[in-house]
Amino acid sequence: MFGLYEMAFGGLTWGNILMLVIGGGLIYLGVAKKMEPVLLVPIGLGVIMVNIPMSGLMIYAPVTEPGAVPMPLMVQGGIGALGEAMGSGKIGLLNVLYQFGISNELIPLLIFLGVGAMSDFSPAMSRPISFLFGATAQLGVFIVFLIAYVTGLFTVSQAACVGIIGGSDGPPTVYLTAALAPELLGPITLVAYSYMALVPILQPPVIRALIPKKQRQIYMKPQTREVSHLEKVIFPIAVFVVSALFVPKAAPLIGMLMFGNLLYVTGVTDRLAASAGGVFVDVLTFLLGICVGALMPAIVFLNIHTLAIIGLAVVAFAFGTAGGIWAARIANLFLKEKINPIIGAAGVSAVPMAARVAQVEGQKANPRNFLLMHALGPNMAGAIATSVVAGIFMSIVP
């Protein structure tokens, strides 16, 4: 029986062959099943690229300590040193993209700018209690952080990055992991985006288990309060100022998200908003995807840590969904006009997938219900909350 890292034929190991199959599987899921295709297809191709021996697209630095995780080779110096290293074959194209786009957290921040330019926070503003549900849906982040650390499999920095998967928001996950645990960036990003695509499968059992059918049937009027133009303009500025004052480490993430949103809501910067939320974010997304895939050679991906991340992510999503639901049910004890607790489940972010799940589950319980706009409030609030949590982790984790 061959070991995963013994040669199968040529320069390929059995581990490489398995990763080639996984890369092809990711492309299949993206193309045939339409599961997060804009990310799974580039990630799948990146996995294939890095597991072809001698391709030279991503070169890893030699491991000097037993048990250490191989990391991409980085070049010290300016553009001249970079050009010389590429010309001599010492580093590959993907090393360059990783060093100047991922390791310095630039690409995830710029992607968040594009996300903000495509986001409408009006549903959250029209029902401020949505921010409570977005905050309590971060329960899964902290529970999994503690579990990951207590098991001893992860350092405190790595545990924080595993926990942030529960926020169901890609850019903060990539941003935090690139800063605190870059050796886990490949598997964490893959698991996070894969599970975000599986939200319609992961959330309904939790919703039905925690909310009695009578409460799932609560009717909410389809329309929400109309938000004025002035409120929309003030909101991103106020959110950034408050977040930066209380959680300074969250300022880059919140700042980019709110800057993009400000471009969207002003009414006079439509061209900038369209650019940020269009081709600009598309280019950044496929660069992120292919770089993340290139961080998954067999020797990095095929280990006990990856299996643990896969399992803990399920726990994070379940407790995140539960946190939003429990907050909604408790709020109903004090509200004269009851809300359907299903909308609390949308606080895990995963915009707009979680809101669509709330809509579907609400109509299954009561065909009169139209919960989409109500669920989008916690959904958008969750995106802000996850960014704040990422900033908290960067502030307190060494």
Q: What is the pLDDT of residue 66?
A: 63
The reported pLDDT for the residue numbered 232 is: 96
Question: What is the mean predicted confidence (pLDDT) over 27-33?
Answer: 93
What crossing angle do the helices spanning 37-50 and 279-294 adopt, rounded to 10°?
Answer: 40
pLDDT of residue 1: 36
Return the beta strands (E) in the chain as ranges.
7-9, 12-13
Task: Give the least confident one: 90-94, 95-99, 143-147, 310-314.
Answer: 90-94
Q: Is the pLDDT of residue 9 over 80?
A: no
The one-letter code for the residue type at 15 is G
pLDDT in tens, 285-295: 999 999 999 99
d(CA 208, CA 31): 31
Q: How many CA atoms lie within 13 A of 352 on its CB side?
A: 15
Could you check whether the bond before residue 352 is cis, i.e. omega within 30 degrees of 0? yes
- Greater pLDDT, 80 or 356: 356
Q: Summarize the confidence of residues 195-216 as an average pLDDT.
A: 92
Per residue in 85-106, pLDDT tens? Answer: 777 777 888 888 898 888 888 9
The predicted-structure confidence for 155-194, as pLDDT tens digits, reads as follows: 999 999 999 999 888 899 999 999 999 999 999 998 988 8
Buried b (16+ CB within 10 A) or exposed e, 122-160: bbbbbbebbbbbbbbbbbbbbbbbebbbeeebbbebbbb
Residue 7 β-bridge partners: 13
* 280/114 Cα distance (integer angstroms): 7
pLDDT bracket for residue 315 (50, 70, 90): very high
Question: Region 347-361: what's the mean pLDDT?
Answer: 90
- Look up residue 28 and give its amino acid: Y
* Mean pLDDT of the region 243-256: 95
The 8-class DSSP code of residue 290 comes to: H
pLDDT tens readout for residues 335-352: 999 999 999 999 998 888
Residue bearing tokens 């280019």: 283
Instruction: Give the start-to-end residue ranges of the domains of the chain.
Output: 1-57, 109-396
Q: Which band of pLDDT confidence, cut at 50, 70 and 90, is reported for residue 57? A: confident
Determine the angle formed by the axes of helices 304-332 and 139-150, rounding to 10 degrees.
140
Cα separations in angstroms, 373 against 130, 141, 367? 11, 25, 16
Percent of the chain whose predicted confidence (pLDDT) is above 70? 96
pLDDT at residue 2 is higher than 60: no
Distance CA 38, CA 58 (A): 21
* Distance, CA of 87 to CA of 61 (rounded, Å): 18
DSSP string, 118-130: T---HHHHHSTTH
Q: Are 141 and 389 in contact (CB under 8 A)?
A: yes
Residues in a beta bridge with 9 = 12
Residue 4's pLDDT band, with cuts at 50, 70 and 90, is low
Q: What is the pTM of this model?
A: 0.90
